[in-house]
Amino acid sequence: MISFPESTIVTKRIPKQKFYDNISITPAMKRVFTENIQQIIWNNKIAASTLNLAPGKTVTEIEVFKVELNSKDLNQNVLLQIDREIPYHILFILCFENEVQAWIGYKKEALGGNNEFKVSAYYHTDWIDEKDFNLEINGLDIDKVYENFIVQIAGTNLYKEADEDLQDAVERSETIKALEKSLETIEKKARLEVQPRRKFELVQQVNSIKKHIEELKKFKEQD
């Protein structure tokens, strides 16, 4: 497992019902909390008060939640529900048997400000043996630590220039993801189309989308 500085350790169990009592969620979502999640532990608090770092302008603190599961299958909406209930940025460490997986949502300030945030995208690692899993706290302030967590966890799923604003990189990456999904659908239609003129039109659409994706990906930060 990851080993963050002792000063950040909290190790406090959070009752699962906190995230589904007194709020409107579907019965299916409640079942996931009760049946698929063993327990949720507030493992660490990463903040200027727990580390020798400057406060962030946007991110005040990052909570590290360890989520112990009964199976690897976990609906992303469960994490979104937790994110909605906690007014801070969250790093999730999912645990199943001897494997772990990190999840983090890119939270951007909601319209109207008031220090309210909403998740616009989630990124996650593969499932990794806990002995081989590691995340590093990099940055001189909490904003930068949060950004570097996203970069580490997203890996090749985030397309970002070295000095580019994280929000711009996330938005472009989400656009690429949507285009790739659309491309898959149109390619399938083109393969099945038997009318020559319509097939040609679909192939033209495929080529146009591929070109757009290539143009967006060319901004990817070089290793």
Residue 201 identity (one-letter amino acid)? E
141-156 tens-digit pLDDT = 999 999 999 999 998 8
177-214 tens-digit pLDDT = 899 999 999 999 999 999 999 999 999 999 999 999 98
Backbone angles phi, psi at 189, to 5 degrees: -60, -40
What is the pLDDT, as a whole number, of residue 110?
Answer: 65
Q: Does 37 score more than 80 pLDDT?
A: yes
Q: DSSP code of 33?
A: I
122-148 tens-digit pLDDT = 999 999 999 999 999 999 999 999 999
Measure the CA–CA gap between 169 and 175, rounded to whole angstroms.
10
